[in-house]
């Protein structure tokens, strides 16, 4: 019976299958349509100990659902296969989009958010009827604001002529509205201003990007909920990290936000998940037969997730000192990459199916012991200042600028395999990558030619996230000639040489996903809960014991202790020799 069903389904044409899948999804959406038209699969009403309100519970004011009976909804220009991800399209011929950047006068908005929106506009990925609103406490006119953000816009695309021609038309869609973050009247005035360009369309969708400190997230959410929700379409909110400082502060933040937002409306952004090689991680594994059979403890010796910067805090030490490298990088960026890498195959590409598997990985991880953690802090070297030389850093700070952590996943696939996470500032290179070191060949026929150093003779898969995005596999190969000599070579895919096209910035991808309602690359509440539960105990122990970090020179390879940690599990860090600046 099952084989017959598969045969019948395969005999249906591609377009027919897409139509059937779309009808099924629309049928489910009609049965459980959210009040705010927030299109996403349902999530558990209780996540990680925090009650998550359902779509019909507390949240932004409900609006009217548009009449979809008149025709087929169409996705935004980039979404070519919405049925693949179970995403319902918006009819952008009838809908307007208002993007509100809260904290629009800050560095993140100027350097990342507005350039990303401009790139999306140039590439035709924004709907025809859209406006962008800056909201902040600074007093500025529309003209002054356009001049301010215009300084950071550049033609990063291949077709610069087309880009330059759209510069002025993009700025004409940008407006500024000054106001206080805790003032409902100011948000009501913003809503009234947005209504003017929206009223020509049947539906008005609104996205709020909270580019502000977490201490005022709740205030802004409350004001947006009461005074600036869309009356006719969806309202979505992008929340930037940090999401608390430990389990307790995270739970409090979640509880406060849930008074005003539903889980479906919140898009917790981690920009590392928007990078091209992270988006490709599931494709590499699940679309290639060669990898999935090897993706387990029988063939993989260890996995390393490495993040390094070749510069220090550079005057931003005051902010960094509040969090440190574990909270700033490892607990979010690297742990999210680990969960994507190690998860079981999801039921589908639906956002909730993927995030369910990620949560299982985090909950299967062993508690982290301080014996498996090394922390460091960079000191001055030559003309480079040390961390404590930064005038914005508190005197005598013990804040780590480097950390290495050994983690283990207690499930049948990964039992006993060390996952080594390493992140640091002022190191010898700038890179972010995943390194998969495979086990040695049993009974190796060529051991007399290859030597006994396993690190030099075992295969290694490297997924370089940045810079010079690439994927390469190290193999043992015979050197051409009459003799029998072996060396290590790379089978490589370099994005710079293979694909002659602009790689989208992470913020471009993630902002567009919010517009489309695609939550695959955003963090769910229970994911963060599990992540904080892993790291909060060691963070508290470090602070209670006032553990001093090991000093390491600026532009070095980090503390010596990190090499002892790797050696403890029979591992050598893979980034000691490769130069990420080389085009492979």
Q: Which residue numbers are catalytic?
A: 333
| Residue keyed to tokens 């205030």 | 219
- What does residue 273 show for φ and ψ, rounded to 5 degrees? -75, -15
Check: CB of residue 517 under 8 Å from CB of residue 87.
yes
C-alpha 9, offset from chain centre: 35
Distance between CA atoms of residues 110 and 101, nearest Å: 10
Q: At what angle do helices 247-257 and 525-545 cross, to 10 degrees?
A: 140
Residue 161 DSSP code: H
Which of 531, 206, 154, 552 lies closest to 378 in space, CA to CA? 552
Separation CA 448–CA 475 (nearest Å): 17
Q: Where are the beta strands (DSSP E) in 4-60?
A: 46-47, 50-51
3-class secondary structure, 557: coil
Residue written as token pair 């490298």: 325
The pairing of beta strand 373-379 with beta strand 470-478: unpaired
Burial class (CB in 10 A: 0-12, 13-18, 19+), 482: exposed
Token representation of residue 466: 């940045």
């Amino acid at each position: 019976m099952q084989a017959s069903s598969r045969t019948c389904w395969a005999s249906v044409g591609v377009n027919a299958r897409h139509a059937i899948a779309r009808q099924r999804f629309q049928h489910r959406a009609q049965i459980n349509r959210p009040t705010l038209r927030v299109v996403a699969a349902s999530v558990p009403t209780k996540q990680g100990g925090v009650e998550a309100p359902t779509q019909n519970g507390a949240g932004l004011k409900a609006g009217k659902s548009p009449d979809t009976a008149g025709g087929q909804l169409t996705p935004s220009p980039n979404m070519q296969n919405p049925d693949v991800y179970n995403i319902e399209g918006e009819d952008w011929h009838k809908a307007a989009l208002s993007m509100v950047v809260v904290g629009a006068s800050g560095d993140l908005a100027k350097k990342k958010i507005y350039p990303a929106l401009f790139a999306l506009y140039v590439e035709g990925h924004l709907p025809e009827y859209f406006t962008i609103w800056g909201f902040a406490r600074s007093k500025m006119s529309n003209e002054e604001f356009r001049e301010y953000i215009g300084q950071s816009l550049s033609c990063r695309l291949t077709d610069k002529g087309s880009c330059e021609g759209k510069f002025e038309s993009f700025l004409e869609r940008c407006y500024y509205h000054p106001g206080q973050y805790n003032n409902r009247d100011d948000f009501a005035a913003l809503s009234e201003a947005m209504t003017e360009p929206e009223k020509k369309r049947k539906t008005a969708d609104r996205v709020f990007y909270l580019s502000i400190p977490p201490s005022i997230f709740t205030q802004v959410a409350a004001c947006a909920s009461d005074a600036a929700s869309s009356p006719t379409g969806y309202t979505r909110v992008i929340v930037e990290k940090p999401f608390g400082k430990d389990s307790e502060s995270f739970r409090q933040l979640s509880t406060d936000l849930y008074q005003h937002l539903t889980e479906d409306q919140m898009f917790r952004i981690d920009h590392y998940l928007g990078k091209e090689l992270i988006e490709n991680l599931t494709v590499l594994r699940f679309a290639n037969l060669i990898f999935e059979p090897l993706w387990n403890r029988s063939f993989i010796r260890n996995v390393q997730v490495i993040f390094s910067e070749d510069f220090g805090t550079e005057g931003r030490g005051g902010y960094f000192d509040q969090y440190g490298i574990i909270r700033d990088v490892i607990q979010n960026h690297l742990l999210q990459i680990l969960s994507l890498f190690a998860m079981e195959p999801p039921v589908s590409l639906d956002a909730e199916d993927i995030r369910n598997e990620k949560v299982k990985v985090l909950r299967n991880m062993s508690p982290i012991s301080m014996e498996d953690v090394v922390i460091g802090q960079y000191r001055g070297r030559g003309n480079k200042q040390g961390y404590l030389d930064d005038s914005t850093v508190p005197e005598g700070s013990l804040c780590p600028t480097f950390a290495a952590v050994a983690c283990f996943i207690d499930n049948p696939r990964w039992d006993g395999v060390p996952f080594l996470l390493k992140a640091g500032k002022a190191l010898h290179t700038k890179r972010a990558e995943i390194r998969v070191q495979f086990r040695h060949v049993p009974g190796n026929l060529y051991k007399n030619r290859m030597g006994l150093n396993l690190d030099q003779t075992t295969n290694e898969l490297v997924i370089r996230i940045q810079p010079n995005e690439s994927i390469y596999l190290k193999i043992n190969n015979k050197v051409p000639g009459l003799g029998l000599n072996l060396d290590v070579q790379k089978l490589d895919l370099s994005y710079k040489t293979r694909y002659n096209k602009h790689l989208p910035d992470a913020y471009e991808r993630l902002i567009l996903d919010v517009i489309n309602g695609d939550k695959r690359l955003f963090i769910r509440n229970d994911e963060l809960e599990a992540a904080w539960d892993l790291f909060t105990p060691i963070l508290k122990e470090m602070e209670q014991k006032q553990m001093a970090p090991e000093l390491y020179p600026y532009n070095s390879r980090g503390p010596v202790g990190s090499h002892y940690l790797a050696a403890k599990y029979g591992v050598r860090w893979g980034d000691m020799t490769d130069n990420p600046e080389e085009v492979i």
